[in-house]
Amino acid sequence: MSDLDDFRDEDDSAAEPGTAPELFYGSADEFVRERLRYMYSRRVGPGNASFRWSARWWEHPEALARIDALWRSWEHLRLDAATGSSTWWIEHADHHMPILMSPEGPFAKSEDKNTPGEPLPYEAPPVGLFPDMRKQRYEG
């Protein structure tokens, strides 16, 4: 053990050696349903609206990939109590969300709308589309 070991950024109490920390959300869908759609209270809608969103976001391949990246990066960065939240916003949310919500983005044809202050529209995906990764994480 070197003298530098005292300055490691790792939190050994978060998980046993060799194991990954427990996920907070079990899937990208749970992340959208429980957190992301409440974090963005922008008014969305068709026509001349500045922002678009689809309640059936999971039907759009680009959205699936970007939201999965947002969820996974949030899961990783939430463990950094110092700058994790800011890093997630700056490097992930501030990049992906404007693309997702753009009138030219993957939801460009969406007719879904909300009123100011409401969460983004949401419709549950088909059963089984987003299995809970917490339950599958350590199964062989």
Q: List pLDDT tens digits, range 52-101.
A: 999 999 999 999 999 999 999 999 999 999 999 999 999 999 999 999 99
The pTM of this model reads: 0.83
Question: HSE of 13 in the Cβ direction (CA atoms, 13 Å)?
Answer: 1
Query: Which residues, other chains included, contact 28 with Cβ-Cβ below 8 Å and sequence gap of 6+?
Result: 64, 67, 68, 70, 71, 130
Show the tokens assigned to 16: 């046993």
